[in-house]
Amino acid sequence: MTDYNEQVQRIKQKLPAAKKADRRLKVFGAESHKYTLNKPATAEEVTQFEQQYAIELPECYKAFLLQIGNGGNAHANSAAGPFYGIYPLGGNVDELIYDTVEKHLKNDCVIYPKMPDDYWAALTQKINDDDNLSDEDYENEKGRILGGILPIGSQGCSYLHGIILNGPYKGRVVNLDTDFQKPKFTYESNFLDWYERWLDEVISGQLMQEGPRWFGYSMGGSDDQLLKLFLSAKDEEQKADCLNGLLNKYTLQKEIVQNIEQQVFQHTPGINAQLLQILCKFDYEKAKPYLIELVKTDLLSVFQFVYWYAKDKSKEWAPVIEANISRIDDGETFRFCTYLLTEIQSNFGPLIIPFTEKKDENIRVTAFYTLGKLNNRKDFIAAFIKGLQDPSNHVIHSALQALSGVKDKRLLPYYKQLAEKFPVEQNYILSNLNYRLAEYGLTNVTVLRTIV
């Protein structure tokens, strides 16, 4: 049995330090729990809970309940902790499995770290695909999938964290979604390590920075620790985890950034892209020549990194876009290309027009949406007319919205055709058609009686 006393004492010392560091309660969830905890549970309370559900709680979690605190005054009576805190013993025990907790909480846990997507898909196939499941069968399926996991805190919406109750991963914390997105295990070996990491990141200020802070979804550790682990890792997935941990840092030491630059293009394409993403986030000027080189093989990553981390430099990429836009044949790359073109604020219409006739419906939708941002849309009436006759309702909808404020009599015959084709609402086409017709003092009814 592991002795957690030394770690418990560290955590007790770090709790007031975290509260002092986050006086303004900037860390997500801190306004709710305010770094407070109620007094610890008694051994009798813990034993009674274990006997009620025929389980044995992980020793690391019991050490927290018995020596640090049990619940608090936050959401769902939670104690200070990641996101909205840590539930009191037995609190929201039915959050994952509503009607059959006593039956399924003692089940063997069937999920595990880094489980393949196809394993999770097979595990959840029945609950996701069978619309005829009875309520009883639905709860039994949930118990089969999520049994052996105790809910211990809310992250908001459908997300929560749970602790594994049995098997080789007993005591590990896992991030869960009640809508059955694939679970994500935290990287720490047990509950107390996870909790102490949270305190460390509050105290250091890491969790007080602007932007989303999904604590526990990426690997923890200092810049140096993560880089050393990356350099020594033999496993591709571990390398990726280390780099994701570095990417989620608010700042990196100058020496770390230099080391990252030295590693660019020394690994597999996926790892190289991660390295360059980190470099672009923390030193765009260093990253730029590597981004230009990456244009040859990975336009999507280049457009994403520039848009995410150097949006104000978009104009520098206008020649690159113009020279390479004809190579784009997938919706995601085109979408990020249009983001940059919109930032550049040039007359990008001629570059977009060819994409209004691409085979990919999503590309055509994006093309018309992007054209809608131009001030000179009348110059492209011919393309819009084709969009209004597109076989896809989604494309027609996009073209109609993009024509907001464009009053041109050449459009009226095609608006009339749409009024004839869509006498009732489909995909919001009729409502958007009426918005456009209102600009001419018409409706979908009156346009049918109008000679256009």
Other C-beta atoms closer than 10 Å to the C-beta of 25 total: 15
pLDDT value for 212: 57
Distance between CA 35 and CA 72 in Å, rounded?
Answer: 9
What separation, in Å, do the N-terminal and C-terminal C-alpha atoms of the chain show? Answer: 85
Q: Please name the residues in contact with 119: beta carbons below 8 A apart, sequence gap of 6 or more.
A: none
Does the pTM exceed 0.85?
yes
pLDDT value for 98: 83
- According to CATH, the topology of domain 5-204 is SMI1/KNR4-like (3.40.1580)
Nearest-5° Cα angle at 430, 429 to 435: 95
Which residues share a beta bridge with 66? Answer: none
Other C-beta atoms closer than 10 Å to the C-beta of 435 total: 13
pLDDT value for 213: 67
pLDDT value for 211: 60
Distance between CA 96 and CA 115 in Å, rounded?
Answer: 20
Q: Are strands 184-185 and 173-177 parallel, antiparallel or unpaired?
A: antiparallel
Within the chain, which residues score under 70 in pLDDT? 1, 210-213
Domain locations along the chain: 5-204, 218-294
Other C-beta atoms closer than 10 Å to the C-beta of 42 total: 13
Structure tokens at 189: 């070996």
Distance between CA 392 and CA 385 in Å, rounded?
Answer: 14
HEC profile of 188-229: CCCHHHHHHHHHHHHHHCHHHCCCCCCCCCCCCCCHHHHHHH
